[in-house]
Structure 1
Amino acid sequence: MKHVLKNVEKQFEMFQILNEEGKIVNKEAMPDLSDDELKELMRRMVYTRILDQRSIALNRQGRLGFYAPTAGQEASQIASHFALKKEDFLLPAYRDVPQLIWHGLPLYQAFLFSRGHFHGNQMPEGVRALSPQIIIGAQYIQATGIGFGMKMRGKDAVAITYTGDGGTSQGDFYEGINFAGAYGANCIFVVQNNGFAISVPRDKQTAAKTLAQKAVAAGIEGIQVDGMDPLAVYAVTKHARERAVKGEGPMLIETITYRYGPHTMAGDDPTRYRTSDLDTEWEKKDPLVRFRRFLEDKKLWSEEEENKVIEQAKADIKEAIKKADKYPKQKVTDFIGNMFEELPSNLQEQMEEYKAKETK
């Protein structure tokens, strides 16, 4: 059976449109994006890189709580989201706050989420999303249910969810894609393969040569894409969305990407499991550098335009963190009241006890 496995693996070659020098290497696959759309995609990626830098600084100052750095994964995250519509439902993992922000979550609420404030998990009216999932892979099952509901209602929409390479070793991953395949749910499953599940290398957790090939067992389409190439990520996600809404079933997308920072800011030290040579190799593939070169060749981008985006991002972040600082602090009674519509007797007693304490 070895030849069968090898034949399967050979079919999952990495899809690419834009090479590391910012040159088109696959003209036939070039997505139909206007000049304004190309510039908007770049604007969002630059903005997200600045948001990441400022969030790390705020975390170190003690002004944010949990934070998972995103630098390096902008093409994988932002270009995939760029292919979606407002009606689509987003189910992010904890590193996918940028997509949630571009989907409509106000920036100050993203900061409140990082601080563990319940308001950071309350989606505004019209924002079709769940708050970031902390349990690894659990969002895959949730996405399957939502995508199945969309199919049953005949909606022109999809549920899209994200996990890392480590998430593909979870049972929830397999259960989610299997159910979605069996029932043809309107789902897009994105695996952001940044090479490490915290500190565990990808090749230590699975013998599969690609993660995209895991789609075969579920009977759904799978593809591996250059996750540092925003055009390729956009094109593949758009294709997956069009298939799903036409009733052609879900799709698994593996994006080959890299996170330049630690797994999270909670004490992870990537220098203990990654070499400087590996970091240097991936820095040459930086999605912002690659896309910038492409746009500059087309006379669509300049240093002046980029600086405007950077200054706007800094101003927005400054205003948002001020708003988050001024937001009412959480109380114990908030937690109790948010859990139940009608409190059981034991919690009613606790509610009264803490109300009395909080009014002193």
Structure 2
Amino acid sequence: MPSEQWTHPEPGDGPAAVAAQPSPEQVIAGLRATSEGGAELTQLLTPEGERVPSPQFDKYVEDVDAEALRGLYRDMVLVRRADREANAMQRQGQLGIWVPLLGQEAAQIGSGRALKANDMAFPSYREHGVAYARGVDMKDLLGIFRCTDHSGWDYRRHGFHPYTIVIGNQVLNAAGYAMGQKFEGKVGDDDGEATIVYFGDGATSQGDVHEGFVWAAVYDAPLVFFCQNNQWAISEPTERQSRLPLYQRARGYGFPGIRVDGNDVLACLAVSRWALDECRHGNGPVLIEAFTYRMDAHTTTDDPTRYRLSDELEEWKLKDPIERVRAYLARGGHADQAFFDKVQAEADTFAADLREYTFNMPEPPPERIFSNVYAEGNPVLEAQREEFLSYLDGFVSAGEH
């Protein structure tokens, strides 16, 4: 059996661990070698909640005072609480499936809050925090996972595209949208538009992502590729997908790439603002690798204990995105226990409201499946609709006799 290279260190860090199958010791060693994301990691808040100055990125968060940081903390707590409630509802049979975001709140809230009103976001299926940041009612997300809706929000008004289930396909959609922004002259100054697209580390192995990189690069599209590297593509570690850190892939396409601490909401906000600003001024595209960790299963159909060790999860708990903001606020006297208790109570109410809505969610009428297929009326679709409804009426008539 040929050997496989399981850990790919930064240049100059020494040889990688090589084995036909990784030993537990090698897995842990690989994790510890990359636990802080390497020398190129951009970080503004350490896991202990200490502020790290950055000559390049501090200017992008000059407006984030104590009140604004409390707001980011609140965002993450509410989103996590909603995520945990939805996870529990799936286990109780109220949702068909759920895709947890536990551990990735900072990457999503930080980047989501960096977007301006005229920007557009293209999610995969895990960006519940970005949806929240874009003003989408989280109740509208639940219909997807209860299998009663495709997307219940106005994507134009919110600047937030419907979820994409096919891995990586949203990158091509986003590239086309961003190219349209460029062709229509909506870039070039402070009022320009930009697009951001979200995908995971596993999606970087998909051809759609590669093609999106190519098209965006060739046409200088105002597109931020936001890769949430949560270390696991379902059951495969990142080391089995790339010889180099993912952000370095941008070099091959001719645009900049940067790695940010995905558990640092302040750094994610700053780096995303910088990247979006580059794009709206016509200097795009940009690749951001948010170095984070999925602390729960890939979906509720997954069992992560079958492929990763508990030591790994315990180490990443020390880098929790919410706790580091809490530590910073408490240490600096910017928030007291009453504030934290108030936010938690608000989060519990938020979750209870989602639960009440889900348990009483109405079933959509059968004719709804024919709605919004085409922008204008279509005689073929109308004929199919009438035939389908007539077919259903036949069951009602039969039941009456």
* Shared fold, TM over 0.5: yes
> What residue number does 2:31 align with?
none
> What residue number does 2:45 align with?
18
Alignment of 1:1-360 (within 5 A): 6=11, 13-28=40-55, 29-30=57-58, 31-32=61-62, 33-118=64-149, 120-123=151-154, 126-155=157-186, 156-207=192-243, 209-266=244-301, 268-339=302-373, 341-344=377-380, 345=383, 348-357=386-395
> AA paired with 2:282?
G
- Number of residue pairs aligned between Structure 1 and Structure 2: 352
> What residue number does 2:23 align with?
none
Report SS of the residue matched to 1:126.
helix
> AA paired with 1:223?
I
Report SS of the residue matched to 1:22.
coil
> What residue number does 2:21 align with?
none
Deviation at 1:125, TM superposition (A): 6.4
Superposed CA deviations along residues 159-204 of structure 1, whole A, max 9, x for unmatched, are: 1111110000000111111111111111111111111100011111
C-alpha distance in structure 2 between counterparts of 1:91 and 1:125, whole Å: 12
Deviation at 1:65, TM superposition (A): 2.3
Choose between structure 1 and 2: higher helix proportion. 1
C-alpha distance in structure 1 between counterparts of 2:372 and 2:193, whole Å: 30
Deviation at 1:354, TM superposition (A): 2.1
Does the 8 Å CA contact 1:12/1:210 hold for their aligned counterparts? Answer: no
C-alpha distance in structure 1 between counterparts of 2:379 and 2:371, whole Å: 8
Report SS of the residue matched to 1:49.
helix
> AA paired with 1:285?
K
The alpha-carbon distance between structure 1 residues 113 and 189, as it changes in their structure 2 partners (threshold 3 A), is: same
The alpha-carbon distance between structure 1 residues 358 and 106, as it changes in their structure 2 partners (threshold 3 A), is: farther
C-alpha distance in structure 2 between counterparts of 1:138 and 1:334, whole Å: 25
C-alpha distance in structure 1 between counterparts of 2:132 and 2:148, whole Å: 16
Does the 8 Å CA contact 1:178/1:219 hold for their aligned counterparts? Answer: no
Give unmatched runs, 5+ long, in structure 2.
Answer: 1-9, 13-37, 187-191
Deviation at 1:37, TM superposition (A): 1.3
C-alpha distance in structure 2 between counterparts of 1:337 and 1:189, whole Å: 32
Does the 8 Å CA contact 1:66/1:264 hold for their aligned counterparts? Answer: yes
Superposed CA deviations along residues 299-324 of structure 1, whole A, max 9, x for unmatched, are: 22233212222222222232233334
Does the 8 Å CA contact 1:67/1:265 hold for their aligned counterparts? Answer: yes
The alpha-carbon distance between structure 1 residues 298 and 27, as it changes in their structure 2 partners (threshold 3 A), is: farther
> AA paired with 1:270?
P
Identity of aligned residues (%): 34
C-alpha distance in structure 1 between counterparts of 2:89 and 2:124, whole Å: 21
> AA paired with 1:289?
E
Report SS of the residue matched to 2:356.
helix
Larger Rg: 2
> AA paired with 1:351?
L
C-alpha distance in structure 2 between counterparts of 1:119 and 1:317, whole Å: 22
Superposed CA deviations along residues 312-355 of structure 1, whole A, max 9, x for unmatched, are: 22222322333344343134332244545425245542232224
Off by >6 Å, runs of 4+ in structure 1: none
Deviation at 1:16, TM superposition (A): 1.5
Superposed CA deviations along residues 39-70 of structure 1, whole A, max 9, x for unmatched, are: 11111011111112111111111112221111
180-189 or 320-329, which moves further after superposition?
A: 320-329
> What residue number does 2:189 align with?
none
Does the 8 Å CA contact 1:12/1:212 hold for their aligned counterparts? Answer: no
The alpha-carbon distance between structure 1 residues 6 and 278, as it changes in their structure 2 partners (threshold 3 A), is: closer
C-alpha distance in structure 2 between counterparts of 1:198 and 1:277, whole Å: 18
